[in-house]
Amino acid sequence: MDIDQKKQQLRRKLLSDRTRPLPKQNRLIIQKLSHFIWKTGFSRIALVWPLDSEIDLRPLCHLLDKVGLQVLLPYTPPKGSALTFHYWKPHTKMYRGRFGTSYPRGAQGTPDLILVPLLAFDRSGARLGYGGGYYDRTLNAYPNSMAVGYALSSQEQKWIPTDIFDQRLEFIVTEHEIITF
Ligand X SMILES: Nc1nc2c(c(=O)[nH]1)N(C=O)[C@@H](CNc1ccc(C(=O)N[C@@H](CCC(=O)O)C(=O)O)cc1)CN2
- Residue positions in the annotated binding site for ATP? 7-11, 127-135
The C-alpha atoms of residue 151 and residue 154 are separated, in whole angstroms, by: 8
Q: Which residue's CB is nearer to ligand ATP, number 4 or number 177?
A: 4
Q: Is 74 in the site for ligand X (CB under 6 A)?
A: yes
104 strand-pairing partners: 94
- Which candidate, 102, 142, 135, 103, places its Cα nearest to that of 119? 135
Stretch that binds ligand ATP, among 19-27, 84-92, 131-139, 170-178 (CB under 6 A): 131-139
- Contacted by 76, from ligand X, ligand ATP, none: CB < 5 to 8 Å by type: ligand X
Give CA–CA dist 180/3, Å, rounded.
Answer: 25
3-class DSSP string for 97-136: CHHHCEEECCCECCCCEEEECCCEECCCCCEECCCCCHHH
Q: Which residue from 21, 104, 111, 117 is in contact with ligand X, where contact means CB under 6 A? A: 117
- Closest approach, Cβ 41 to ligand X, in A, equals 26
Residue 145 CA: distances (Å) to CA of 2, 8, 16, 45, 155: 31, 28, 32, 9, 24
Query: Which amino acid belongs to residue 84?
Result: T
Among 32, 50, 84, 162, binds ligand X (CB under 6 A): 50
Residue 87 beta carbon to ligand X: minimum distance, rounded to whole angstroms = 16
Shortest-Cβ-distance residue relative to ligand ATP:
129
Cβ at position 55, least distance to ligand X in Å: 9
Q: Which residues of the chain form contacts with ligand X (CB under 6 A)?
A: 11, 48-51, 54, 74, 76, 83, 99, 101, 117, 129-132, 134-135
